[in-house]
Structure 1
Amino acid sequence: MREPLTTSLWSRDDSVPLVEYTVGSLLAERASTHGDALALVGTAHGTGEQCRLTYQDLYTEARRVATALLRLAEPGEFVALWAPNVIEWPVIQYGAALAGVTLVALNPVLRADELVYAVNHSGAAVLLHADVSRDYDLAAVAASVPSRCPALREVVSLSARDRWLAESADPPATAAVRDADAPVMLQYTSGTTGLPKGVLLRHRSLVNVAKLTVERAETEPGAVQVNPLPMFHTAGCVVATLGSLWLGGCMLLVEHFRPAPVLELMEKEQATVLFCVPAILGALVEAARDTGGTAAALRTVMVGGANVPAALIETTRQVFGASVHNLYGQTELAPTLSATGRSDTPEDLANTVGRPLPQVECKIVNPITGAVQQLGASGEICARGYQQMIGYLHDPEATARTVDAEGWVHTGDLGVMDERGVITITGRLKDLIIRGGENIAPVEIETCLLGHEAVLEAAVIALPDEQWGEAVTAVVRLRGEPYDGLRDALVAHCRGRLAKYKVPQHWYAADEMPVTPAGKVRKFKLREAVAAGILRPLG
């Protein structure tokens, strides 16, 4: 039992040792210990056929991929993958790790210029791509890329299986395959402003973050886990994919999320674990209520990417009988820093992001002075440990702005820590609204709004105001159609729970929120929509 903290500084918990697997060696281990167990279920590229792979199947396919990739690229080079959640995605992820190349995970919605930027920035030697994602012609866009990407040697469609999947399954060993500190993946941040930065991550970080996250939620060995999260993001390809690998479980990979079919899949496969963002969880709860669907075996829900309303956590418990666990982190931390555990109090499960995972230090600091804050005082969340990024690729200045001279990663998120080390998120540094000299954290107001029965999603932004400098502005997605008196009802709801200066002055309704792949609302897009007159005011 740890002594209570006296300041907002969490020292490293080394009671749980790190493991020294690489992504490839862990897969090899599971093929040896769980060879006949079902490892992966997903749809095949091009045909939509559902495929089911055991651990021995998965390891064999990954070794065939590694053999083929080493004909296209050298160990240590970058290989980009541009595809939706088809079953080939995790197979190629494992194959790249075995080959000792660094996988560049790309969002399949990228437009041509964005794709060119990522390929050129990463210096990728190979681009593997799906032919289509939803109604987007990836093949046509990929064909236009080589003339604009001088370092790109090969552009290979997933339909050309003989080029990325060899007949044999015996790639030569490389030093990188055995080195847990070697780079394994490049993730582009889905940041809310500016050009994306390439976050370079190592094997040790990915394997241990996945292991420690699923262990914090007390996920049972062999669990059947549903993953509707995009594989190009760390939540999907690290926590869900490698978490399932660590447990010797089966990952059900969802190509396109639709609530009713996913509920049917969960019931059919007797899924016990769901990985999701709040919007997905909310949609599944609504679908279960509307259709009477169920997921009887569901025991654990792991949610990250955005603030999870306490009401949604409680509703999930009522509808599915499952425990909901808040995960907090960012890509630069591979990605989990903290999470709630099954034995946490109902209050902690509903309102906090839990304690830091083992083997990482965490502190809350004054954003101006850098001094460690007193317990309960809001400040910037900082972390230091094995899981932090190697750095931003080709950008030492940006790396130095994020990782200070003492090695602490500055997350840009605001939070408070109590004497137990439990963290509560209070907002984003850049999201702070300054109204008449008062600093206002939007997340507090958003949480308040999500407690109203008419509100499904809420985002609070700042708009310029001649008198106050900035005006608090609420954008809501409603459960139904707006009705007469709704604005007044929402104002009254806020006034009963918030200080007067925090109550929104302006109100807008949105049919959907513009979000990043991680599920975070792009608030600058909302400000642009308000300025352009696209959002309808709540009268």
Structure 2
Amino acid sequence: METITLDKTFGDLLNSASSTWGDSKAIIYNEKSYTYLNLNNITDLLAKGLLSYGVQKGDKVALWLNNSPEWFFFYYAIAKIGAVIVPINTRFRSNDLEYVLKQSDSSLLVLGNSYRNANYYEILKGITPELEHSIPGQLKAEKLPRLRKVISVGFLSTSTISFKDLIDRGKQISNDELRKRESEVSPEDLFAIYYTSGTTGFPKGVMHSHKMIINMNNVAERLQMKSSDKILLFLPLFHVYASQVGLTAACTRGACIVLMEAFESGKVIKLIKEEKVSILYGFDSMYLDIMNDPNFNQKSIKSIRVAMCSGTKGILEKVVKKNDFKVVNSYGMTESTGVTSLTFLDDSDDTIISKNGYPLPGISIKIVDPYTKQTLSNGNSGEICVKGHSVMLGYYNKPIETKEVLTEDGWLYTGDKGYIDELGYLHLSGRIKDIIRVGGENVDPIEVDAVLISHPAVFKACTIAVPDERLTEVCASFVQLQVNKNKINEEELISYCKTKIASFKVPRYIFIVDEFPTTTTGKVQNFKLKQMAFKLLENKKAKSSEV
């Protein structure tokens, strides 16, 4: 199996992949495909185009694009010239967009075409009305004084630099000038600022160097990835999971990305069958959507060799037990390059369901008491801490927040709760701050969720804390029911929980919903659930007072 050496930048990585697997397909998107040589050639032209517009090493270049080949092109082009990529969540609107562009000090924005109900250009113009009459490359905006250039992809505007113009400008720059800039970029340099998903509020900018490549090579190694593999990627590329476990890991092995603009269960099944996809990435709820699709059957997905899935234990068990392909479980976060630990392909189903993987090479994990910070022995639950090349450099322009989670000797305090077993596997059990204090007793919401999901009528559950006058806090659970199952009401679910768990763990309130508020990557936004719970309880209280 061919691999590449790892003491590289992202620009080096693509150059090596082009030399090693030049004629192999790197991207399949709709009716188009690009070989690694095609990808590298287009990337070079864009990189030279950016040089022609004066983009310097260390400049922040924001990328607000939907999943598309152009995302790949800019990803590597920005890296080649030593600039810093700032991926922007495609669900962001004016407030979030303004915050990220300002907080990241972005001087250039790559702007995509409209998607669904969002016109990105109009949203940007709402923040910077000066854009409409500006000369391309010379924006002067009051709210975003550092942002000077906007590149448009998929549409034309008299106030932006077009994709074609950037390519044409790149043709006027010599290869020697690009190679000179590439030689000035080091693996230790800042490569990207990923903004966290925002499950608890405004996101923070997580800084990573080019050394992310090392971790992604180790992911590819554990998945036994080969150049013949085809990886179906529907996860959003602005997220570290998709761009790293997807793009970067594939590039270390010359594998092909079959790219989707967004997740659609029916189209996923169709592409798996047509393209003979062998590797699948996703979150637990996405796998359930695929399995519940009317076109789903084992024959239609028989080409899948391995699927990476993480999430609720109850849902993961359904994915593992009801499919013929191998599933791997993992643990990670944006601050640790998306994947810190991963199960092995020869692990048993019970191991995959119950354990969140074994640490990847070069990564250390320890468990500490969340209050004393003393290291705990195997089997004892506490806060998960991570150290190694996968750990972030810090939060951009947030030294206080960085010091709160990252020690001088490199330990990242994740805020996640778990333990390490006698074999060295990690077991994740929730967030330290998510623990619910019911009258002096600690309740892990994941345990409550697992009980609810074990009911045949329940599709998904998420438990949060709500205030209580007597007990300080009690459990409140949001539940999504299975399609085409017998209906069940809140009281019946509470009665079911009473037969399974201690009384103080039983939800005081259950709210049945059609769907959960989530980030684009599928994470449930707990702060929105709390807002919903408070409103529902206030309405309930008001109705009671009227009686």
Output the CA distance in 1 between the equivalents of 2:251 and 2:301. Answer: 22
Q: 1:275 to 1:417 in 2, by over 3 A?
A: same
Counterpart of 1:268 in structure 2 is 274
Which structure 2 residues correspond to residues 94-493 of structure 1 after superposition, within 5 A? 94-144=76-126, 145=128, 146-159=141-154, 160-166=162-168, 167-168=170-171, 170=175, 171-174=178-181, 178-204=185-211, 206-287=212-293, 294-304=300-310, 307-319=311-323, 321-480=324-483, 485-493=488-496
Matched, 1:78 2:24: no
Runs of 5+ consecutive residues of structure 2 not aligned to the other structure = 129-140, 155-161, 541-547
Counterpart of 2:543 in structure 1 is none
Identity %: 29
Counterpart of 2:24 in structure 1 is 37
Equivalent of 1:512 in 496, 511, 515: 515
How big is the shift at 1:482? 8.2
When normalised by structure 1's length, the TM-score is 0.90
Q: Is the 8 A contact 1:190 1:516 kept in 2?
A: yes
Residue deviations 1:150-209, cap 9 Å, x none? 0111011113212333453832432676411111111111132232111111111x2122
Q: Is the 8 A contact 2:355 2:428 kept in 1?
A: yes
Q: Is the 8 A contact 1:328 1:338 kept in 2?
A: yes
Output the CA distance in 2 between the equivalents of 1:375 and 1:151. Answer: 49
Residue deviations 1:202-237, cap 9 Å, x none? 111x21221111222333442100011110010011
How big is the shift at 1:249? 0.7
Output the CA distance in 1 between the equivalents of 2:390 and 2:298. Answer: 41
How big is the shift at 1:496? 3.8
Residue deviations 1:315-343, cap 9 Å, x none? 45534x11111221111111211111112
Counterpart of 1:89 in structure 2 is 71
Output the CA distance in 2 between the equivalents of 1:516 and 1:177. Answer: 37
Counterpart of 2:9 in structure 1 is 22
Q: Is the 8 A contact 2:236 2:262 kept in 1?
A: no
How big is the shift at 1:404? 2.0
Runs of 5+ consecutive residues of structure 1 not aligned to the other structure = 1-15, 44-49
Which shifted more, 487-496 or 394-403? 487-496
How big is the shift at 1:290? 5.9
Equivalent of 2:47 in 57, 66, 73: 66
Output the CA distance in 2 between the equivalents of 1:411 and 1:443. Answer: 17
Output the CA distance in 2 between the equivalents of 1:534 and 1:227. Answer: 40
Output the CA distance in 1 between the equivalents of 2:299 and 2:458. Answer: 23
Secondary structure class of the residue paired with 2:90: coil
Output the CA distance in 1 between the equivalents of 2:259 and 2:251. Answer: 13
Q: 1:438 to 1:335 in 2, by over 3 A?
A: same
* RMSD after superposition: 2.3
Q: 1:235 to 1:315 in 2, by over 3 A?
A: closer
How big is the shift at 1:312? 3.9
Q: 1:86 to 1:95 in 2, by over 3 A?
A: same
Secondary structure class of the residue paired with 2:379: coil
Counterpart of 1:6 in structure 2 is none
Aligned amino acid, residue 113 of structure 1:
N
How big is the shift at 1:481? 7.1
When normalised by structure 2's length, the TM-score is 0.89
Q: Is the 8 A contact 1:97 1:177 kept in 2?
A: no
Counterpart of 2:544 in structure 1 is none
Which shifted more, 443-452 or 521-530? 443-452
Larger Rg: 2
Aligned residues: 512
Aligned amino acid, residue 350 of structure 1:
I
Q: 1:173 to 1:512 in 2, by over 3 A?
A: farther
Aligned amino acid, residue 188 of structure 2:
D
Aligned amino acid, residue 59 of structure 1:
N
Output the CA distance in 1 between the equivalents of 2:81 and 2:27. Answer: 21
Output the CA distance in 2 between the equivalents of 1:412 and 1:345. Answer: 28
How big is the shift at 1:310? 4.3
Output the CA distance in 1 between the equivalents of 2:16 and 2:519. Answer: 35
Output the CA distance in 2 between the equivalents of 1:343 and 1:62. Answer: 38
Secondary structure class of the residue paired with 2:224: coil
Secondary structure class of the residue paired with 2:449: helix
